[in-house]
Each structure stands twice: as C-alpha cells, then as structure tokens.
C-alpha cells in the first residue's frame, strides 16, 4: 500500500514539473505571461460603437495619441490599455453607474469536462475587450482558471494567496483585498486558487456539533466579502468546484446570476438535469435555514458544440425542448483554436495571430463574440440598459 501511495505522489510531482516546463516554454523569455495583442482601427471603432473617422479626428485634434506605426509607416494597432483610454476620451465606456449592482456570475456545473474554466476565462477576456472591469475568483482547488491566467498553482501560489485565509475556521483576513492579483489584462484581476484551498472543506466538515452555524456563517461571509470587493468592478466571475461542497454552496449564495455550461452529449445532459434537481433541493434547504438566494438570471449555454456532428444537433434539440428560453440560443462551438490556445495557457482573445488557419480563427472568434455577447446583454438588462446602436446604424436609419 505504501508503494502505491508513493507512486501516486511521484506521478503528481512529475505532472507539476511538466506544467511548470510548459508554462516557462509558453511565456519566454521571462516566464511571465504577457498581453501582446493589438486591435486595428476598424475593430477599435466597432468595439467603441463609433466610426473610424471619429477616432482619426480625435487623433488629429490631439484628444487621442496617434496609433504607433512600424518603420514602413503601417499602423500597428491599439493595445488594450490604449483602447480603455479611447473609451474614456470618446465617452464610450460600458461600465455600470454607481447605482447599478455589479454582476456576480457563478459559472457552475457539477459535471466535469464541460469547459467550465475555459468558459470562465474566455468570458472574462470578452468582457475586458468590451471595456468592463472584471474580477475572476477561482474557487476550485483544481485551479484550472488560475493556470489559464498564467500562474502555476503549485509553484507560484501559496495557500495564503487564495480564499483560504478568509474562509478558514480560524481566519487571518477580514476582507478579500489581500488575495486580488493583477493579470496581464489591465482591467481584469484574479483571486487565484491552489490545492490547499480544499482544506476549507476539511475544516468545515470537522466543525463538530456547531457545524451548521459555522457553515451558515461561512456562506454569508463569502457573500459579504465579494459584495464589498465587487464595488470596484462591473462583473465578477466565480469558478466553483464541480461538486456540491461547502465552497460550491457558498458560491451559489454569493452570486446574483448563474451560468450553466453543458456539452451536447447525453451524459452531460443527464448530469446537468441531476445538477438542477440537486440545486433545487439545496436551495429549498438553504431557504429553510434563512439563507436566501436571488438571481438576476439563470441561463444554460451549450459548450463544445460540433455543428457537423448529428448527435450534437439531436442533443441540442432536446436541450431546446427541455429548457426553452433558459438555454442561450447561440452555442460555443468546439474549435481547435480554443484547444490550441489552451495548450499555450491562453484564450483565443489573447492570440496575436491565428494558430490554425485564419478562417478557423475568424470563425472561432466570431462565434465566441456572439455566444458570450448573449451574457453581456443579460448583464446590461439587469442594469436596465441595452447595447447602444452603432453610429453607422443610426445614420443609416435616419436616411
């Protein structure tokens, strides 16, 4: 038995060393993840809902600096920092008003392999490109989201940098500000995770006869801490563990919106139905204990959808019949570009150039924008707003 345990430990150590090698290879020369994407003026105008002429005029009259050029005079495009500055100058920021409640979205499904962390990171970067201030909270001790943000949870993150000091039985932190880390994205912050966060589950399970009151206090504490922190952001994305444990329940109570990713397979559909049934029972039990949950929206989104697979089309049809309007109409397509980016510990939004063919990349990016844009619309609706019409649409309509 000792030999088996030792073998498992050796396998884990070998895996951690390989992750670090991959990370260092991906982020050469300084082994730190950077953000090197640039946006051309046409895409910038689309993102700012204005014309390219308006941007050029602002550059000509000095309100905006000109986009840097290469040696041959070709525009290099705008960085994300420059885009944020352009939004401020041109009054094109989508950020909420002080009266709008920050969206705190839990991306949850108890079925593993549905792309929960991939959806979370892509959603964070989508919101960032659109100009929102985003906080991502990795609540899963497997720390996939932390890894996708360029941190190695085994080598780079200590237990004191996770939610643990705040949620443990003997907390050493009274608020969550200590855990917030900056990321390569200027408007995206991260609270990371690592394997030691699971100690919270052990501690609360061993809380003894007073366990129920301890659990209730932890549920309320996470919500209170996130509500305070959320005042600095527009959108907070929570990535909980794929299991019904203490942290998952605390996340469910802290969120004000729920997004459930599920793949178009029979096992995923059946598992998601069980997840929803379990959620219903748990929410009733929490309500009876005086812990209320109130969501601005609950939506399911089909992830890893292969439009060329007839079985996927059939299962998606079943989803539509079952869930109706709660299923978002545009699925996230299963694309090699997403997989290739993940191998580099990136999202598609971080790629400087296509990894596969330009056609594949363009199709993948367009699908992600449309699919994740559905969630942006739900957030804006919760603020009582809709996306403003583009300048050219307004001009065309008035002719």
Phi, psi of 334 (to 5 degrees): -80, 105
The rounded percent of the chain whose pLDDT value lies above 70 is 84
CATH assignment of the domain containing 181: 3.40.50.300
What would the pLDDT profile of 365-380 be if each residue is shown by its tens digit? Answer: 999 999 999 999 999 9
Whether residues 82 and 213 fall in one domain: no
Count of CB atoms situated within 10 Å of the CB of 388: 12
Domain annotation covers residue 19 = no
Report d(CA 72, CA 237) in Å as an integer: 42
The three-class DSSP label of residue 132 is: coil
**In the predicted structure, residue 388 carries a pLDDT above the cut 50:** no
DSSP tag of 62: T
Per-chain mean pLDDT for the chain: 85
Q: Which domain does 59 fall in, by range?
A: 41-89
Domain annotation covers residue 141 = yes
Whether residues 69 and 187 fall in one domain: no
**In the predicted structure, residue 399 carries a pLDDT above the cut 80:** no
Section 327-340 average pLDDT? 93
Whether residues 345 and 264 fall in one domain: yes
Whether residues 134 and 49 fall in one domain: no
Q: How far is CA 326 from CA 132, 303, 323, 369, in A?
A: 25, 15, 6, 19
Q: Is the peptide bond before 29 cis (omega within 30 degrees of 0)?
A: yes
| Strand spans (E) along the chain | 103-107, 134-138, 181-182, 188-191, 235-239, 257-263, 297-303
At residue 157, the pLDDT reads: 92
Parallel, antiparallel, or unpaired: how do β-strands 181-182 and 188-191 relate?
A: antiparallel
Domain annotation covers residue 53 = yes
Which is more confident, 200 or 125?
Answer: 125
Report d(CA 44, CA 390) in Å as an integer: 12
Whether residues 243 and 278 fall in one domain: yes
Whether residues 107 and 68 fall in one domain: no
Whether residues 237 and 286 fall in one domain: yes
Whether residues 277 and 359 fall in one domain: yes
At residue 3, the pLDDT reads: 62
Whether residues 159 and 123 fall in one domain: yes
How many domains does the chain fold into?
A: 2
What would the pLDDT profile of 157-188 be if each residue is shown by its tens digit? Answer: 999 999 999 998 889 999 999 999 999 999 99
What would the pLDDT profile of 234-281 be if each residue is shown by its tens digit? Answer: 999 999 988 777 888 889 889 999 999 998 888 888 888 888 888 888
Residue 135: how many CA atoms within 13 Å on its side-chain side?
Answer: 22
Whether residues 74 and 213 fall in one domain: no
Report d(CA 202, CA 281) in Å as an integer: 23
Whether residues 75 and 221 fall in one domain: no
Whether residues 224 and 182 fall in one domain: yes
At residue 116, the pLDDT reads: 87
CATH assignment of the domain containing 78: 1.10.1660.10
Token couple for 170: 């003997």
At residue 126, the pLDDT reads: 98
Domain annotation covers residue 95 = no
Report d(CA 372, CA 123) in Å as an integer: 6
pLDDT band at 386 (very low <50, low <70, confident <90, very high): low
Domain annotation covers residue 161 = yes
At residue 345, the pLDDT reads: 84
Report d(CA 125, CA 187) in Å as an integer: 9
């Amino acid at each position: 038995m000792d030999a088996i345990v030792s073998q498992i430990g050796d396998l884990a150590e070998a895996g951690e060393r390989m992750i670090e090698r991959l990370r260092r290879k991906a982020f050469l020369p300084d082994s730190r993840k950077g953000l090197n994407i640039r946006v051309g003026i046409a895409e910038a105008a689309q993102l700012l809902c204005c014309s390219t002429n308006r941007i050029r005029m602002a550059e000509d009259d000095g309100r905006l600096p000109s986009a840097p050029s290469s040696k041959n005079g070709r525009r290099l495009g705008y960085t994300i920092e420059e885009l944020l500055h352009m939004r401020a100058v041109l009054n094109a920021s989508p950020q909420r008003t002080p009266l709008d409640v920050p969206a705190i979205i839990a991306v949850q499904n108890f079925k593993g392999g549905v792309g929960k962390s991939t959806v979370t990171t892509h959603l964070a970067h989508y919101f960032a490109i659109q100009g929102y201030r985003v906080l991502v909270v990795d609540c899963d001790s497997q720390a996939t989201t932390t890894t996708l943000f360029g941190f190695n949870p085994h080598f780079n993150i200590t237990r004191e940098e996770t939610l643990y000091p705040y949620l443990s039985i003997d907390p050493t932190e009274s608020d969550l500000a200590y855990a917030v880390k900056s990321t390569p994205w200027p408007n995206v912050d991260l609270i990371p995770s690592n394997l030691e966060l699971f100690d919270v589950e052990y501690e609360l399970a061993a809380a003894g006869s007073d366990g129920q009151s301890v659990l209730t206090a932890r549920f309320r504490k996470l919500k209170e801490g996130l509500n305070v922190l959320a005042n600095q952001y527009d959108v907070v994305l929570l990535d909980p563990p794929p299991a019904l444990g203490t942290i998952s329940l605390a996340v469910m109570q802290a969120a004000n919106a729920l997004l459930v990713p599920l793949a178009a397979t029979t096992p995923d559909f059946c598992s998601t139905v069980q997840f929803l049934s379990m959620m219903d029972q748990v929410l009733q039990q929490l309500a009876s204990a005086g812990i209320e949950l109130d969501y601005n929206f609950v939506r399911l989104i089909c992830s890893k959808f292969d439009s060329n697979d007839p079985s996927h089309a059939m299962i998606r049809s079943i989803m539509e019949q079952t869930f109706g309007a709660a299923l978002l109409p545009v699925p996230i397509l299963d694309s090699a570009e997403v997989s290739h980016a993940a191998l580099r510990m990136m999202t598609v939004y971080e790629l400087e150039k296509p990894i596969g063919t330009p056609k594949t990349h363009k199709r993948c990016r367009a699908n992600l924008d449309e699919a994740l844009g559905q969630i942006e619309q739900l957030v804006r609706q919760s603020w009582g707003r809709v996306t403003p019409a583009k300048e050219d649409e307004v001009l065309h309509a008035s002719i």
